[in-house]
Amino acid sequence: MTVDTSVRAAERGGSGELRLPPRPRNRVRTALILLAIAAMTIATCIPAIGGVELDLGAIVRNWRNGADKLVQLLQPNFEFLPRTVQPMLETLQMAIVGAFVAAIVSVPLTLWAAKPTNPNSFGRGVVRTIINVVRSVPDLVYATVLVAMVGVGALPGLLTLFLFDLGIVVKLVSEAIDSADHGYMEAGRAAGGSQLQINRVTALPQTWPLFANQWLYTLELNVRISAILGIVGAGGIGRLLDERRGFYAYEDVSVIILEILVVVVLIELCSNALRRRLT
């Protein structure tokens, strides 16, 4: 019996099934990593060394105020529901239009940002830099600046959602293209096709499911984000939510929250059904 045969026989159990050798474990290294993470977390909560000041005692001191607000939220005023219909429709319109326009613009930008579909390193670097800048600015900052530029209403919210969606789709899909196998593109180059022809005939058909998944994902996010953008006057249901909160009408706020929850769940169910049909 050779050495390899002896090893294989040792790795087989009494039942004759092939068993993999146990995975080596380094408990000391794991413990040190966990200890370092815990120490860093604790250090960020110590004001004396520049950490944030967490006043956990405020939860105990103000628990009654929080309990009162929670009781009001648990008593939704459904008579207020008809007034929320138009702002919610505006939110859905913003979400759909923003996702649709971002979907159109994201296709060429994604192909320019991915290395397999754009061998030009300079052009690829320019697109990636622009997308990174777009993604680095929080959506609430976009909304605040755009409200100051174009005024209160749905337009700044729509522009904010467009920029937000564009950054997400281009970033995620271009990285997926970079990490995928591209044998079909090599075949196109071997056949003498130009980069434009290769992208149109081979790359796009392979990446449509990726695009569709990200477009549906951004549509789900848009409804949630719209509720926040309304705080700075970017229209939609968020503006009504901020108005009722300012009047301490938490019964009305509760109705708006429930409505947003229902709409988000319905959109997620529809998008999941579409994803199943696309795969």
Q: Which segment of 209-218, 226-235, 258-267 scores lowest on mean pLDDT?
A: 226-235
Percentage with pLDDT > 90 across the chain: 31
Q: Report residue 117's pLDDT band, with 50, 70 and 90 as the boundaries.
A: confident
Q: What is the mean pLDDT of the chain?
A: 83
Q: Are 144 and 232 in contact (CB under 8 A)?
A: yes
**Which tops the pLDDT comparison, 129 or 21?**
129
Candidates 154, 149, 109, 98; CA nearest to 133 is 109
Q: What is the pLDDT of residues 45-97, one digit of tens each?
A: 887 777 777 777 777 777 777 788 888 889 999 999 999 999 999 999 999 99
Q: What is the pLDDT of residues 153-201, one digit of tens each?
A: 889 999 999 999 999 999 999 988 888 766 666 666 666 667 777 777 7
Q: Which domains does the chain have, with CATH numbers?
A: 3-48 (no CATH), 79-278 (1.10.3720.10)
pLDDT at 20 over 80: no
Q: Are 244 and 256 in contact (CB under 8 A)?
A: yes
Per-residue confidence (pLDDT) for residue 103, from 0 to 100: 92
Per-residue confidence (pLDDT) for residue 83, from 0 to 100: 94
pLDDT at 43 over 90: no
pLDDT at 224 over 90: no
pLDDT at 2 over 70: no
pLDDT at 12 over 60: no
Q: Are 157 and 231 in contact (CB under 8 A)?
A: no
Secondary structure of the chain as H, E, C letters: CCHHHHHHHHHECCCCCECCCCCCCCHHHHHHHHHHHHHHHHHCCCHHHCCCCCCCHHHHHCHHHHHHHHHHHCCCCHHHHHHHHHHHHHHHHHHHHHHHHHHHHHHHHHHHHCCCCCCCHHHHHHHHHHHHHHHHCCHHHHHHHHHHHHCCCHHHHHHHHHHHHHHHHHHHHHHHHHHCCCHHHHHHHHCCCCHHHHHHHHHHHHHHHHHHHHHHHHHHHHHHHHHHHHHHCCCCHHHHHHHHHHCCCHHHHHHHHHHHHHHHHHHHHHHHHHHHHHC
- Whole-prediction pTM: 0.77
**Spatial distance between the Cα atoms of 215 and 168, rounded to a whole number of angstroms:** 9
Q: Which segment of 10-14, 203-207, 260-264, 266-270 scores lowest on mean pLDDT?
A: 10-14
Per-residue confidence (pLDDT) for residue 18, from 0 to 100: 60
